[in-house]
Structure 1
């Protein structure tokens, strides 16, 4: 992939639509989303259950194909890529952090971190590896396997793995969902520092207002559409906005 991120914009979507199910009434998960995500910034995506936020993340990351519309990561338009080139772009230019750590149990922490490079037949840059490992605080845990690490440490391995290829963008889907509050705070600090210190672009789906407050921008979804946003948010502002978006309880309940 020779394309590079467009100046100022890491990911963009135009008229993005995604529907599930056949018949006269399919479920509309995305209803014509237009979105630009700034390079070198931390963006959080929030909304009520079923609002389309995870579907949006999966389409932006090339994990799922939309029914209509376009997605660009950098200058690469995903719809124009065949399966092989899309796989290469995800491997080389996109980092992923999920709620489940997705580490290989037989590999050490270091081997899990450099796995994307090993799959590509590339050697890690020793200086970058040291910088990433130091940033996530795993220098003395590199020889440990996942079963020998706490949940927070395993997620830090996953963050390091997402950063090791110097991706154009890191997508994080509920990255603190399986962690206690202290470990979750550590992972959020790492993602924030990846943006501030390493110049990374991070896009995170979360349901947690405290997590979203680490972002530079929070975008809110409802019924498959973008309906609001906050810049430099506080947890209180996020909570107030979410409360306005939650559907009213049915009468009599």
Structure 2
């Protein structure tokens, strides 16, 4: 379990590499990392150099922290994230969020590529996360609680900030982007869901399903951060269309949506 000393060591190492003070955190999902290429005056720090950061190997993830300016806001962007399915503990998966908080970041934008469960959605849509369902039977806050980091029993009645969602909807309207809204279900992976599991997930009330985001959002909320979640719906979840799923397709569709996605995030930063 990481302690406050580990968080401080990671924070101080990052601050030794840059004189910028990021105000917004970005976690960029599969195929969405090239938003980080738009960051001006960037300082890129490989995760492997940051004390106590895990080492990710997921395809479509570059594994570096990029700090710089994006549309007038100083940001810290995680180009690639850690996943539970890679064998990391949830403590390792969420450690970067603790470090972002220690850097002074109050607003966190979490993105992912995932499957659409709601049949009125289509691949290539962007979805604002309104709420989530944790289907993994674990939680990143299990274990001793450090009251300096957050309360023992956090309230999750509004994980994804209504205020930030409203800003996103305004920006999308201005940019003529149709933005879906829905509930994201967290599935451990690395297997895609079976058709029966997707039927269950739909019955439970989810609109999309993916293998990330929820642990980071829980820890960010524990740290009293404002969170905005955006999913890029790259495929219809298993069993909706009679076709197999593959990761290459996920990366490809995420890449195609990129211009829309980058425009939305930039507009958001300007409006925040």
Taking structure 1 as the reference length, what is the TM-score of the superposition?
0.29
Q: Rg bigger for which structure?
A: 1
